[in-house]
Structure 1
C-alpha cells in the first residue's frame, strides 16, 4: 500500500483580481482588464491574456460577472460585477491571510545551489540582479511620480501602499546585495 502526502490545491486568485478590477470601474472589456495586468497589477501579479479570457468565461458561468454588448457594437463584450460577484470579492478581501505565498525568485533559487563562497558566478549573478532591481526601482518610482506625484487620490490608497511597499522591498534587496558582495 502506497502512502502519500495529500497536498491541497492552491485556491485560484485570478478571479478575485478580476472582480477587484471590475469593482474599481464597472463595465470593462477583456482587453481593458488585460491592460490592467500589464500596467498596474503586473507590478506584483502576472496573468496572461490566455489565462484571463477563460477565467472570464468561468466567472460568467458562476454568476460572479455578467457580460453585455452596447448598441452599435455587438462584437465588443463588456463585463460587470453581479451582486454575487460583489459578495465573493468582499468575502475574499476580508478572509484572513494565514500563510505567505512562495515567491518564484529565480535568482534566489540559482544562488541556493552554489556551494562555494569563491564561486566566480556569484559576482556575475549579483551584478545582473542589481541591474534588474535598479531598472525595476526606476520604473516604480516613475509610476509613483506619474500616478501620485505627492498626492494620494481618493479611491487609490491601496494602490499607493502597494507601490510604496514594492519600492521599499527593492531598496532593501539592493542593500542586501551590497552586504553580500563586500
Structure 2
C-alpha cells in the first residue's frame, strides 16, 4: 500500500499560518521548526505546489514589483482540505510524527482538537509501548540473548524509552 502523501498538508498549514509565501520561503520553513520533525527539499516542494495549484487548494499571485516572483495563498478549498486532514484520526504506525504536525498548525489553545489529538496520541503510544515491551520480554529474557543481539536490544530499549518519555510529556500537558 503506498504511503499517504503528507507534504501537501504541511504546505497548506504553512500557508495558513503565513499567507503569501514564495516557494523559496516555504522551503525555508523546513529548516526551522518543521525541520525538527519533518524534512522536505525544494525538489519535493515545487512539484507539490504545482499539484496543489491544479487541485485548486492554493492560488498564486505575482508580486507587484517583480512579476517573476510568485506568492502562494490558500483557497477556501485548501482551508477545507487542511481542516479535514487535521480532523482525521491518527493511525499506527506513527511515522514521521503527524501528531506534531497537526498540533503545530492549531493556533488556538482552546481548540477542542488539541485535547482530542493528545488523547489519540496517548492511546496509540500506549499500544505501541505494550507491543515493544512484549517483544523485549520475548526476545531478551536473559543476558545471553541480550549479548547475542546487542544492537537490536539497544534500539528496542531506546524505542521503549522514547515512547515512555512521550507519554510522560503528554500526561504533563493535560
TM over 0.5: yes
Q: Which residue does the alignment assign to 2:35?
A: 42
Q: Deviation per CA, 1:135-181, whole angstroms, max 9, x where unpaired?
A: xxxxxxxxxxxxxxxxxxxxxxxxxxxxxxxxx959949xxxxxxxx
- Alignment map for 1:75-94 (pairs within 5 Å): 75-94=68-87
Q: Which residue does the alignment assign to 2:119?
A: none
TM-align CA RMSD: 3.0
> 1:99, CA displacement in angstroms?
2.1
Q: Distance in 2 between matches of 1:94 and 1:171?
A: 25
Task: Give the TM-score, by structure 2 length.
Answer: 0.56
Q: Deviation per CA, 1:51-84, whole angstroms, max 9, x where unpaired?
A: 0010001000100000111112111110000000
Q: In structure 2, do the counterparts of structure 1 residues 170 and 20 end up closer, same or farther at CA, with 3 Å as the change threshold?
A: same
Q: Distance in 1 between matches of 2:71 and 2:162?
A: 36
Q: Deviation per CA, 1:11-59, whole angstroms, max 9, x where unpaired?
A: 1100000000000011100111111111110101111111001000100
> 1:118, CA displacement in angstroms?
4.3
Number of aligned positions between the proteins: 114
**Where in structure 1 are there 5+ consecutive unaligned residues?**
1-6, 104-114, 131-167, 174-182
- Runs (4+) of structure 1 exceeding 3 A deviation are 115-119, 168-173
**Where in structure 2 are there 5+ consecutive unaligned residues?**
97-143, 167-174
* Structure possessing the higher relative contact order (Cα contacts under 8 Å, 6 or more residues apart): 2
Q: Which residue does the alignment assign to 1:64?
A: 57
Task: Give the TM-score, by structure 1 length.
Answer: 0.54
Q: Which residue does the alignment assign to 2:3?
A: 10
SS of 2:92's equivalent in the other structure is: coil
SS of 1:78's equivalent in the other structure is: strand
